[in-house]
């Protein structure tokens, strides 16, 4: 049993349903990890991608991390029984020889391959990924459904308020009870009007989160927090530069509502700095680390372990990304809930199944379940 080939392709990806609206040239990497294991007359292939909102990692994947997996011996990649791939051992192979530090973009390359390896291993075991993870980590049976929210609300270049209202209305029509929109790209008055418009479509502002996309700094973050306080928002996300812990702590000391942070921090070392210096409050605030961007599941587990040992509840974790891999982790690890991007980030946009009162059931197909998602499956099939 071995990995016989690894393929990568970089593709453009848009924040909007309309890919013609500029999104800053965002891309992502698709990967296929091909094994010599046969199921139903075909080789088992694990699929992964570099999450959303950033850029493809093709060079690092092709030149640095994939070759290590392809050169590894069977004993370096298999579980003790030799019956399946061991994603944790594969992770060690990818990280062999890496120096401490350097958490910039290599973590995304490793996380992309890690996703595909977990997909392949779960398929070999003939289990949906969340059940496979529960068995591998000796966790209790997962819940039948997980909480989800709809993410979108990027500013439109024209007719913004009308199009925003229609977008959030469409989320509510799908069964979502909570949503998230973007702020920080316009003047404060415009952003407050966006919040008012969106909140009307999800019953009230307490069911609405806002993502500032790290736009504020020490000169204006507190002013914005004061203006947002009356809305009693579900949460206030990515307030300032991810490493500006001083500004974040200053806002946390003055803003009573939940703050969400961590999406743009990519290692357990950075997560510890956020915990020590960011002023976040246990039992109130939200942790948004992206499992793919944090070196995959092994790196994400290190982050969870750190916060749990500091008395943070697992329900504080709502992983960034809005894709099927995150759904499985939320179920297996009993986290707070998952993000879904119903409109943007094709080919990974869309709803995995029927949303009922803000909750969704997990796919029962072996692995992550990309084969059940028409657009994603079409993209992966083109890769192999």
pLDDT of residue 226: 97
**pLDDT at res. 20:** 85
Listed residues 126, 156, 182: the one ending a domain: 126
Spatial contact of 154 and 342, defined as CB atoms under 8 Å apart: no
| 155 in the same domain as 287 | yes
Look up 232 and say whether it is catalytic. Answer: no
Helix (H, G, I), strand (E, B) or coil at 189: helix
Instruction: Kindly tell me if the per-residue pLDDT of 19 is higher than 90.
Output: no
Q: Within a domain: residue 93?
A: yes
Express each pLDDT in 36-79 by its tens digit.
999 989 999 999 999 998 899 999 999 999 999 999 998 899 99
* Domain identity same for 279 and 353: yes
Q: Do strands 3-12 and 27-39 pair parallel, antiparallel, or not at all (unpaired)? A: antiparallel
Identify the pLDDT of residue 104: 79
- Map 295-358 to HEC letters: CHHHHHHHHHHHHHHCCCCHHHECCCCCCHHHHHHHHHHCCCCEEECCCCCCCCCCCCCCCECC
Q: Looking at residue 322, what is its pLDDT?
A: 86
302 is catalytic: no
H/E stretch holding 248 reads helix 245-254
Please say whether the beta carbons of 51 and 293 come within 8 A. Answer: yes
Report the CATH number that the domain containing residue 220 is assigned in CATH.
3.20.20.120
Q: What is the pLDDT of residue 350?
A: 83
Q: Does residue 363 have a pLDDT over 90?
A: no
Confidence of residue 351 (pLDDT cuts 50, 70, 90): confident
> Is a pLDDT exceeding 90 seen at residue 376?
yes
State whether 173 and 257 are in the same domain.
Answer: yes
Q: Which residues contact residue 379 at a Cβ distance below 8 angstroms, ignoring those fewer than 6 apart?
A: 11, 30, 347
What band does 355 get if pLDDT is binned at 50, 70 and 90?
very high
Tell whether the model's pLDDT for residue 23 goes beyond 90.
no
Averaged pLDDT for residues 113-133: 97
Residue 383 counted as domain residue: no
Residue 249 sits in the same domain as residue 154:
yes
Answer whether residue 134 is part of any domain: no
For residues 100 and 38, membership in a common domain is answered with yes
Structural domain of 47: 3-126
The residues facing 339 across adjacent strands are 149
Catalytic residue among 103, 123, 293, 320: 320
Specify which residues 235 forms β-bridges with: 209
Say if residue 99 is in the same domain as residue 63.
yes
| Residue range 214-230: mean pLDDT, rounded | 96
Task: Please indicate, yes or no, whether residues 113 and 158 belong to a single structural domain of this protein.
Answer: no
Residue at 131 is within a domain: no
Note whether 104 and 154 are same-domain residues. Answer: no
Structure token pair of residue 307 = 């916060």
pLDDT at 166: 97
Q: What is the mean pLDDT of the chain?
A: 95
Please write the tens of the pLDDT for every residue from 134-143.
999 998 888 8
Q: Which of 103, 182, 293, 328 is catalytic?
A: 182
pLDDT confidence tier of residue 352, bands split at 50, 70 and 90: confident
How many domains would you assign to the chain?
Answer: 2
CA distances from 18 to 15, 22, 217, 344, 346 (A): 8, 9, 31, 8, 9
Which of the four pLDDT bands, split at 50, 70 and 90, describes residue 148? very high
Percent above pLDDT 70 for the chain: 100
Whole-number Cα distances in Å, 211 to 46, 185, 310? 32, 10, 26
CATH number at residue 17: 3.30.390.10
Q: For the segment 312-327, what is each residue's pLDDT rounded down to a tens digit?
A: 999 999 999 988 999 9
């Amino acid at each position: 049993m071995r990995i016989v080939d690894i393929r990568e392709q970089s593709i453009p990806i848009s924040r909007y349903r309309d890919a013609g609206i500029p999104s800053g040239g965002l891309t992502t990497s698709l990967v296929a990890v091909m094994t010599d294991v046969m199921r139903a007359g075909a080789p088992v292939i694990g699929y992964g991608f570099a999450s959303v909102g950033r850029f493809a990692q093709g060079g690092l994947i092709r030149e640095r991390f994939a070759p290590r997996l392809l050169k590894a011996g069977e004993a370096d990649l298999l579980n003790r029984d030799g019956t399946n791939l061991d994603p944790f051992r594969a992770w060690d192979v990818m990280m062999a020889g890496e120096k401490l530090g350097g958490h910039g973009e290599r973590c995304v390359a490793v996380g992309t391959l890690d996703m595909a390896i977990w997909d392949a291993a779960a398929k070999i075991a003939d289990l949906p990924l969340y059940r496979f993870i529960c068995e591998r980590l000796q966790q209790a049976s997962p819940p039948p459904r997980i909480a989800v929210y709809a993410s979108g609300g990027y500013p439109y270049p024209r007719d913004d308020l009308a199009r925003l209202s229609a977008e959030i209305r469409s989320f509510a029509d799908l069964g979502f009870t909570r949503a998230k929109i973007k702020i920080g790209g316009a003047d404060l008055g415009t952003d407050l009007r966006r919040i008012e418009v969106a909140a009307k479509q999800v019953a009230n502002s307490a069911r609405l989160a806002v993502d500032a996309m790290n736009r504020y700094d020490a000169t204006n973050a507190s002013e914005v927090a004061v203006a947002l306080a009356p809305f009693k928002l579900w949460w206030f996300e990515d307030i300032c530069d991810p490493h500006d812990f001083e500004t974040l702590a200053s806002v946390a000391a003055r803003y009573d509502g939940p703050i969400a942070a961590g999406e743009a921090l990519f290692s357990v070392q950075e997560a510890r700095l956020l915990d020590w210096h960011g002023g976040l409050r246990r039992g109130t605030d939200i942790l948004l680390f992206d499992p793919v961007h944090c070196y995959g599941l092994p790196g994400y587990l290190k982050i969870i372990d750190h916060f749990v040992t500091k008395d943070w509840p697992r329900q504080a974790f709502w992983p960034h990304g809005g894709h099927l891999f995150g759904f499985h982790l939320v179920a297996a690890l009993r986290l707070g809930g998952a993000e879904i991007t119903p409109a943007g980030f094709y080919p990974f946009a869309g709803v995995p199944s029927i949303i009922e009162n803000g909750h969704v059931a997990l796919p029962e197909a072996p692995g992550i379940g990309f084969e059940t998602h028409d657009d994603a499956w079409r993209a992966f099939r083109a890769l192999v």
